[in-house]
Amino acid sequence: MPQKHKCQICQRDVDDSLSLAHIKAEEYIIKLISQDHPEWNKDKGACNLCLEYYRELIKRTEI
């Protein structure tokens, strides 16, 4: 049975196998998440939904 953890950004329960560790995420996304969520611990990563949100934000706003 896969391990689960709570996404620190959206609070959803996600399987560890589906989460994306910060090392695989773009540094710019990590910076944006840290600015929006200073309590976020990047060592625990973020779920794919939250990462996709930030990727879309970058695409739409060209930040």
pLDDT tens per residue across span 1-57 = 667 878 888 998 887 766 655 444 578 888 899 999 999 998 888 898 998 899 888
**pLDDT of the residue at 23:** 42
* pTM of this structure: 0.61
Q: What is the pLDDT of residue 22?
A: 42
Question: Which residues does 49 contact at the CB level (< 8 Å), separation at least 6?
Answer: 7, 10, 12
* Domain ranges (residues) in the chain: 4-61
C-beta neighbour count of 22 within 10 angstroms:
19
